[in-house]
Amino acid sequence: DVKVTQSSRYLVKRTGEKVFLECVQDMDHENMFWYRQDPGLGLRLIYFSYDVKMKEKGDIPEGYSVSREKKERFSLILESASTNQTSMYLCASSQYRDRVYNEQFFGPGTRLTVL
């Protein structure tokens, strides 16, 4: 089974802190994604990566950055956390095959609260 793990299930940080959310997948997937999920807004794509050191902005990249130094690991960074970044953060991964859709596998999520 594909396994996507996230470093924390719950996290509480203060405004202005630098926050790192880590995601690791064990299926050698090329694609990795970071979403945030808010009530009434669904999942919104923050960033995705289709290869090591490659990244592409999603719909809401402002206030976030990412790092992908190894294929299995994709990190989301909040440079200076703000209260409007309180949310559920979900990581996902998928295989890449040219012109073929591949399902995304999700991690359990990190519920981040910024005070």
Partner 1 sequence: GQNIDQPTEMTATEGAIVQINCTYQTSGFNGLFWYQQHAGEAPTFLSYNVLDGLEEKGRFSSFLSRSKGYSYLLLKELQMKDSASYLCAGGLNFNKFYFGSGTKLNVKP
Binding site for partner 1 (CB under 8 A): 4, 31, 35, 40-45, 48, 50, 58-59, 90, 94, 96, 98-109
Tell me the C-alpha distance between 46 and 34, whole Å. Answer: 6
Q: Which residue lies nearer to partner 1 by CB, 10 or 84? A: 10
Please state the closest distance from residue 112 (CB atom) to partner 1, in A: 15
**Is the CB of 85 or the CB of 104 nearer to partner 1?**
104
**What is the closest distance, in whole angstroms, from the C-beta atom of residue 14 to partner 1 in the complex?**
25
* 98: exposed, middle or buried (Cβ count in 10 Å: 0-12, 13-18, 19+): exposed
What count of other Cβ atoms lies within 10 Å of the Cβ of residue 72? Answer: 16
